[in-house]
Amino acid sequence: MAVYLLAFFAYMAEWLFGSRSKVARTAAALTGGDRKSAAAPVTVRSAREGGSTAVLERPEVITRSASGTRDLPDGPGAAGGDAQGDLYGRIAISLTVLAWGIEAAGVVTRALSVQRAPWGNMYEFNITFTTVVVGVYLALLALRKNVRWMGLPLVTVVLLDLGLAVTVLYTASDQLVPALHSYWLWIHVSTAIFCGAVFYVGAVATLLYLFRERYESKLAAGLKPGSFATSVMERLPASASLDKFAYRVNAAVFPLWTFTIIAGAIWAGDAWGRYWGWDPKEVWSFITWVAYACYLHARATAGWKGRKAAYLALVAFGCWLFNYYGVNIFVTGKHSYAGV
């Protein structure tokens, strides 16, 4: 947690010390002039050298539009296209990689200490879940995806999740009940954790899309947002890009969530002699599946895009979140082991 906390401060520095003047010039390029200049791909290059802050040369930005959306270029990222901000961002990523390695080693040592998969209670599930969430983020960075803007909200939630794990949910190492001694534990729970991590990434993108879309709407209406909103929103990808990213992430992992439910049913048949018993965890897993299915169906057939689809995606993630925390903590069922 200490290393994640250092990464959190580095991400904050990336946002705070990035060149605001650079962002202001980018905003002027996007909103000023005629519609043709705003809709075309924009190239913003270094405008000044020397002084207290150097400005990075920004490559050409390609607009990403969708039906019913505004054609706007993506923002320059959390660093604001600034060398100083970029340095803090690189430090933040390095600290995130270090923290991820330490946490992953902790998950492995927990597994070795009990000679089983480290997913027997909520504490073990939490530390594994946060490890996978950060792993997904780092994998996207390794694939050169434009997701560094996600670093600050991601590390913030990871710190909160780990704090909850070590203060409220901590459970000493112990052996599993007989029903859990199965190779399906590795299959079913590992896919559930991975799906939750990807759903979380999609939810962050969806939430930021709502803020960015509202900001773009204000600009289109001729309103002038505050300086803080301008500094933050203009660094993010365009709302159309965030919308596409969230949709693709959720659509890509949905088949794996379907497999997770099927694998759980097969395991239930082996452990309890029935494939489906309307246990609270089973019910909310199915509700989550239905919610994401409705979201994807609305996007694919009804043509839902924008805010309506975003709200539905957040409702679906809320169902997953309740299934993750609420069912385990507040509801008693066959999936309740080791207290939590």
- pLDDT tens-digit series, residues 248-294: 999 999 999 999 999 989 988 887 788 888 888 889 999 999 999 99
- pLDDT tens-digit series, residues 101-146: 999 999 999 888 888 888 878 888 889 999 999 999 999 999 988 8
Q: In angstroms, rounded to a whole number, what is the distance separating the alpha carbons of residues 168 and 176?
A: 20
More confident residue, 204 or 57: 204
Q: What is the pTM of this model?
A: 0.80
- For tokens 């001729």, name the residue: 222
More confident residue, 141 or 221: 141
pLDDT of residue 21 exceeding 50: no
Instruction: Out of 14-28, 119-133, 178-192, pick the least confident.
Output: 14-28
